[in-house]
Amino acid sequence: MQLREDIRNIAIIAHVDHGKTTLVDQLLRYSGTFRDNENVSERAMDSNDLEKERGITILSKNTAVQYGDSRINILDTPGHADFGGEVERILKMVDGVLLVVDAYEGCMPQTRFVLKKALEQKLTPVVVLNKIDRPNARPQEVIDEVLDLFIELGADDEQLEFPVVTASALNGTSGEGEDDQEETMEPIFNLIMNNIPAPIDNRDESLQFQVTLLDYNDYLGRIGVGRVFQGTLKVGDNVSLMKKDGSVKNFRISKLFGFIGLKRVEITEAKAGDIIALAGLEDINVGETVTAKDNQQAMEIPRIDEPTLQMTFLVNNSPFAGREGKFVTSRQIEERLLTQLETDVSLRVEPTSSPDAFTVSGRGELHLSILVENMRREGFELQLSKPKVIIKEIDGVKCEPMERVQVDTPEEYQGAVMESLGTRKGEMKDMVNDGNGQVRLEFLVPSRGLIGYSTEFMSQTRGYGILNHTFDGYAPLQKGNVGGRRSGVLVSQEKGKATTYGIMNLEDRGTIFVDPGTDVYEGMIVGEHVRENDLTVNITKEKHLTNVRSATKDTTNTIKKTRDLTLEEAIQYLDDDEYCEVTPENVRLRKKVLNKGERDRAAKRNKLQNAEE
C-alpha cells in the first residue's frame, strides 16, 4: 500500500481555553510560515470578531505548514461542546489528533467530549501537555488522568500507547519533560511526523472528494472545503456532485485552492490526501461528495449529534419596533436563518403556525446566542422566547438531554453549589479535594436545570468558581419543574424615559436594569423584584417641584449601580411569559402581554385551566 509521506493531516482538539489556537500560532511561526517582518496578531486563526472578543474558537479553520519536505495540514477546532458539530466533521478529514491538555486543570468535560469523538473515528492521538510553565502545573498527575480517560472511553491498545510532549504555547517552548523546555516546536513536529499516519496514496482510483466546511466569496460564490479521499482533481475537470437528497449535479471545477499559513493559494491539481477548497457550484453543501462522472459513488454523510435546545425567533412587535434595525421583516429573518443552515450543520429551522415566528434548534445556549449576536451586528431586529430543551421519545419513553457538569470551587462554597444543583435534579458522581482548599465536583444534571444557572453559580461562589459542562446523552424525563427563575420582575407601567427619581423610589424593591434617561415602554421589564411575584412600577415618575425650600436641598442623591444584562444573560433570565427584544443597539426584556389588565386576565385564565386539569 502506497503512502503519501510528504503529507500529514491532523486536527487540534481540546477543552475550551486549553491553548489550541495559541499552539497553532507557534507552529505557524516556528515553521517559517510568516515572514520576519509580517505583523501577525495573537490567536491569528480566530479571525471572526466574536472569536477575538471572547477568546474562543467558534468556527473550525484549516491551515498548513511546510516542515522540511513535508506539508502538515492543521485543522483548529472549537473546544466548546455547543460547537461539537464542527468538531465531528473535521475529524473525518484527518488521520490523527493533537490532544492539548492544560498541565494544571487536567481533563475537563470538553476534553472527554472531543477525545470520545476522535477515538470513535479510530484516529491516532498525540498528547500535548500545555501551560507547563504554570506555577501549579502537575504534569505526572495529568498524564495519569489522560490515561484513565482513554481507558474509560474504550481506546484500543495502539491508541493507549500515545506519545506525550510538554509545551508552553504562550512562551513558544516545548520539550520531552517539564524541565527541558526550549524555544522550539521541534519536539511537537517530530512526534507528528513519526506517529501520525501518512494518508494512503490512491490517486489512481476513481475520484472521491467530500465537502466538510463551506466558505463564501463575492466573486467565486460558495466554496467547498474538504479532503480528496481518492483520485485526482484538476481545474477544468467535469465532475458530478452527489447531493444529500440522492440527486446528481454535473459541474466544471472553475478554481482549486490549497492552504499555506493563513492564506489560500490557487493550485491547478490536487491528489488523494490533500485538503483543498474548490469553486464552481453554487449549491454545494456539507457532507456531499464530488465524484468522477463515470463512477458516481457517494461517501457516507458524517453523523452529527442532534440539537438539544430550541427557541422561537419572532418579528419584533414592541412599541420600539423598527427604530434601530435595518432588517425587521419575517422574510428577512427567515432568509438569514436559512443562510445560516448552509454552513451550520447542528442548526435546525422550522416554520410555526404564525408566519412571523420560527422555531430554531441548536446545541446549547452559547450556540444560539452566537447566532443572535451575529444577526444583531448585521442590523437585524427580532424577539426571542425562553429556551426550551428538546424532549425525545426513545423506545416509548420520554427522554431529556443530560449534561455532565464539572465544578471547581473553593471549599467554603461547596455546600451551596451542591444544594443548588440538587434542587435542579443534579446527581453527584464524584468529588475530589486537592488539599489546598479547592474542590472538584462532578454532576449529571438535566440540561433544563442549567438554563440560567451560571449567574446563580457566580453569585454563590463570589466569582471564584469555574463551571464547565458538556452534553452527556439522554435519560428518562424527570417529573416536576427543574430550575427556573425564582424571583419576580419589575415591569414598567408607562411609556417614557426612566428618571433618577423614579429609579431611587424603586431601589428598595429590587435590582434595576435601566439607567436614567433610558427609553421604556409599558410592559418592559426594568428590574428584578426582591419577591417572587411581578410588580408593575412607575419608573418614569418625575419629582414634583414646590416652592418649599428643603433643608437638604444641596445634598447630592446617588443611585446604586444598575445591572447590565448581556445577550446571553438576558436569554437565560427569560420566563415563559416573557420575550427578549434584540436590536443592533439594545437588548431589552419585556412581557409577552404588555398591558397590565390583559396580563392579569390571562393569568386568571391560566389558573382556572390548571385547576380544571
Q: 386 among the known binding-site residues?
A: no
Q: 6 among the known binding-site residues?
A: no
CA distance 153 to 113: 10
Q: Find out whether 332 and 371 touch, Cβ atoms under 8 Å.
A: no
* 159: nearest Cα among 107, 100, 116: 116
CA distance 72 to 91: 15
Burial class from Cβ neighbours inside 10 Å (0-12, 13-18, 19+) for residue 577 reads middle
Q: 426 among the known binding-site residues?
A: no
Q: Find out whether 366 and 324 touch, Cβ atoms under 8 Å.
A: no
Q: 132 among the known binding-site residues?
A: yes
Q: Find out whether 436 and 391 touch, Cβ atoms under 8 Å.
A: no
Q: 133 among the known binding-site residues?
A: yes
CA distance 442 to 563: 31
Q: 285 among the known binding-site residues?
A: no
Burial class from Cβ neighbours inside 10 Å (0-12, 13-18, 19+) for residue 9 reads buried
CA distance 381 to 582: 6
CA distance 96 to 122: 9
Burial class from Cβ neighbours inside 10 Å (0-12, 13-18, 19+) for residue 290 reads buried
CA distance 90 to 60: 8
Instruction: For residue 398, give the C-alpha cell.
Output: 420520554
Q: 22 among the known binding-site residues?
A: yes
How far apart, in Å, are the Cα atoms of 127 and each of 45, 161, 247, 482?
21, 10, 42, 39
Residue type, 240: S
* 164: nearest Cα among 113, 214, 130: 130
Q: 18 among the known binding-site residues?
A: yes
Beta-carbon contacts of 547 under 8 Å, excluding residues fewer than 6 positions away, are none
Tell me how crowded residue 53 is: count the other CB atoms within 10 A of its CB. Answer: 10
Q: Which residues are annotated as a binding site?
A: 17-22, 130-133
Annotated binding residues for GTP, written as ranges, equal: 17-22, 130-133
